[in-house]
Structure 1
Amino acid sequence: MPLHYLALGDSYTIGEAVPAANRWPAQLVHQLRARGVAIDDPQIIAVTGWTTDELCAGMDAATLTPPYDLVTLLIGVNNQYRGRAAGEFRTQFGGLLRRAIELAGGLAGHVVVVSIPDWGVTRFAREQGRDAAQIAHALDVYNAIARDEAGRVGARWVDITPISRRHPELVADDGLHPGAAQYALWTDAILPVAAAAVK
């Protein structure tokens, strides 16, 4: 039986502004198959603009078929964008992480948490006159929380934020979301961790 994969998130997981095949969950499945892993197409629960609580509600409304052999979680940028408190993020992210582990059959090692990229370096942020340093600091706080919560429960962690900062030019036509080439770099970073999770 092929492995089952659930991808949870927001615009970065749904691949806003890129073709479906260029979303990083789709690229990840392609790369895993190239390594000989039999895995289904990803089931994606993600909507552009979702915050942690909105993802939770989206999961409530979705048709889920656990256990999943791999669950990825990338969420939080819209909490930061809306100026929500870090403490609220920790509480809600922790709840999502516990749900992800439950959906992975209680196996925390099958859950991969992906860091939030830094949108403050993008053309969109510059054109909007946003404070790149303030955005970077806020996202660093959020990512430290996500990494801490992942480590607390034994989930896996992948930090793609440095990639987003090194390659601000690799964005889609909207000037904000990653383009296919940047998602490919994310996939390269996520692949070995995901492969270890499903091994």
Structure 2
Amino acid sequence: MRALAVALAPVLLVQGAGVRRRTPVLPEAPGPRAGVVAGDGPPLTVAVVGESPAAGVGVATQEDGLAARFAAALARRSGREVRWRLSARTGTTVAQALGLLVPGPAGPPADVVLVAFGVNDTLRLRSRAAWRRDVTALLGALTPLTAPGGVVVLAGLPDLGRFPTLPQPLRGVLGRQARALDAELGRLARPGVRHAPAPPLDGPGLFADDGFHPGAAACAMWAEVLAAAALPLRM
């Protein structure tokens, strides 16, 4: 992959600059980054940590964002109250998240921790070995923040090869890179750590205005897949 990127570097640099010029810069969604979804039975505590999709880039409010939609999907599927909190920032890589986003907002250990990174590491063509090392370090940092019997859900990387705003060959290179990093996430799955491959996010109306970030409909669809991976808990 890196050899291909080096060979295509002149073209990729020109295309990348063009994408940056014509792609609108969308803000992180306004709204509370913590909340409660009503339900019966003992409450579930949920922590979400991630990059721009988790931060709400591409939706109008946090209510439509991935974190809140994930909490709502968990509440509906489990029938339990869900108390959620979010720690996310646009442009963050997994390595940068250590110390910057983790441990995140104060709160009790989480029954479910959702980890949503990878696009920024893909754009930087992070090697598979370095990515695996970074994610392993992040999982270690999350251990004391996860309740006994709780689960960490690794959100799979969206396939950048399907992103309409990216021209070829840039789209193909980034698509292969995203799939390679996602495969490494799958290899990190173990008891208490689950990998949830991302659904196809290239349908009509699923992208935000920038053609790059998931819109509200995509976040809702993605949240259902993530909630299904999180349940049942090991508690």
Q: TM-score, normalised by structure 2?
A: 0.73
Where does the alignment leave 5 or more consecutive residues of structure 1 unmatched? none
Percent identity, please: 27
Task: Give the CA deviation at 1:198.
Answer: 7.0
**Segment of structure 1 superposing worse, 77-86 or 167-176:** 167-176
- Conservation of the 8 A alpha-carbon contact between 2:205 and 2:217: no
Whole-angstrom distance in 1 between the partners of 2:98 and 2:71: 24
Cα distance in structure 1, aligned partners of 2:170 and 2:226: 29
Q: Give yes or no for contact 1:111–1:197 (8 Å, CA) kept in 2.
A: no
Distance 2:231 2:58 in 1: 27
Runs of 4+ off more than 6 Å: none
Q: Match for 2:104 among 52, 62, 66?
A: 62
Contact 2:45 2:112 in 1 (8 A): yes
**How far off is 1:168 after superposition?**
6.8
Compared CA separation, residues 174 and 122, structure 1 to 2 (3 A)? same
Q: 1:74-89 alignment to 2 at 5 Å?
A: 74-89=116-131
- The CA distance in 2 between the partners of 1:44 and 1:198, in whole Å, is 22
Q: Higher helix proportion, which one? A: 1
Larger Rg: 2
Partner of 1:112: 153
Q: CA separation in 2, counterparts of 1:137 and 1:90?
A: 16
* Residue 10 (structure 1) shift: 0.3
Q: Does the CA-based 8 Å contact 1:45-1:58 persist in structure 2?
A: no
CA shift digits 1:35-73 (9 cap, x unpaired): 421111x21111111001111121357343341111011
SS of the residue 2:177 aligns to: helix
User: Partner of 2:82 in structure 1?
Assistant: 39
Q: Give the root-mean-square deviation of aligned CA atoms.
A: 2.2
Picking from 134, 148, 156, the partner of 2:194 is 156
Pick the structure with more strand per residue.
2
SS in 1 for 2:165: helix
